[in-house]
Each structure stands twice: as C-alpha cells, then as structure tokens.
C-alpha cells in the first residue's frame, strides 16, 4: 500500500470515529436537555467545559464564555430544554452538531468539540444574521 493511501485511510478512520464520537455526545446532550436531566447532561461534559454564545446583540447571550460544567449545564438546560424548541442532530461544518429550531425557524446552531467522549468546548450561534443561510434551506 502506498504511503499516500495509508495516510488517507488513517485520516478516514480517524474522522469516522471522531464523527461517531461527536454524534454520541450530541445525542446525550439532547437527551439530557429534553429530560431536564442535569446529571445526564453533566456526564457528557468535561469538568472544565466552556460554552461561547454568539447572540450578535440581537439575542440575549452571556458576554463572556461560560466556564465549567455547572455553568454550561445550567445554560444549556434552560435554552435547549425550552418546550418551544426542537433540537436535532445535523452536520455542522462537517461534523455532527445540534440545530435548534423554533417552529420552522433555526434559532441556534451548537458546534461541539469532543475529546475522549466528553464535550470540552461548545459554541452556540444564535445571532439571526449568521443563521440566515440555515433558514434558507
């Protein structure tokens, strides 16, 4: 096997397992917020997890990143656990992420960085200007 093919196969295996790891984390995150189960949600988050929320000045959002499992659980439970929103797993930048809809309108896209099956960083884009392309689909 050529070196180039071996490198490509290694990358493919790594990306496939990384995507599966992201999807497992996203599913656990959604289940924890749907069931208002903070303990289950905490189990998928790294102890030092951080969450950055981009509201773009249009949507209320923390001004600085939330740090630590407790703060991230509190925020995600409140926002994603809202009975008026629906959360689904979709590809976001090539990896499984969480898309948040209110009715037919995308109101948030959550991107995850997963390491060793735990979410260590997350970014929630709630800025309507940045979600226009999601709402044109």
> What pLDDT is recorded for position 45?
97
Distance of alpha carbon 34 from alpha carbon 132, whole angstroms: 26
Three-state DSSP at 66 gives strand
Burial class (CB in 10 A: 0-12, 13-18, 19+), 82: middle
Q: What averages of pLDDT result for each successive group of 10 residues across the chain (137 residues)?
A: 50 69 94 91 96 95 96 94 94 93 96 93 96 92
Distance of alpha carbon 16 from alpha carbon 106, whole angstroms: 27
> What pLDDT is recorded for position 93?
87
> What pLDDT is recorded for position 8?
44
> Which secondary structure element, helix H or strand E, spans residue 4, and what is its range?
helix 3-34
> What pLDDT is recorded for position 16?
75
Distance of alpha carbon 128 from alpha carbon 37, whole angstroms: 28
> What pLDDT is recorded for position 7?
54
> What pLDDT is recorded for position 4?
57
Task: Kindly state the DSSP code that residue 122 receives in the 8-state scheme.
Answer: E
> What pLDDT is recorded for position 25?
95
Distance of alpha carbon 66 from alpha carbon 121, whole angstroms: 10
């Amino acid at each position: 096997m050529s070196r180039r093919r071996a490198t490509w196969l290694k990358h493919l295996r790594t990306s496939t397992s990384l995507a599966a790891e992201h999807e497992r984390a996203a599913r656990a995150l959604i289940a924890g917020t749907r069931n208002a189960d903070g303990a289950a949600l905490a189990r998928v988050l790294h102890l030092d997890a951080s969450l950055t929320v981009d509201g773009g000045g249009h949507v209320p959002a923390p001004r600085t990143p939330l740090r630590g499992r407790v703060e991230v659980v509190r925020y995600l439970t409140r926002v994603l656990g809202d009975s008026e929103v629906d959360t689904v797993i979709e590809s976001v930048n090539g990896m499984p992420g969480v898309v948040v809809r209110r009715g037919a309108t995308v109101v948030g896209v959550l991107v995850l960085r997963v390491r060793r099956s735990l979410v260590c960083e997350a970014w929630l884009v709630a800025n309507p200007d940045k979600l226009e392309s999601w709402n044109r689909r």
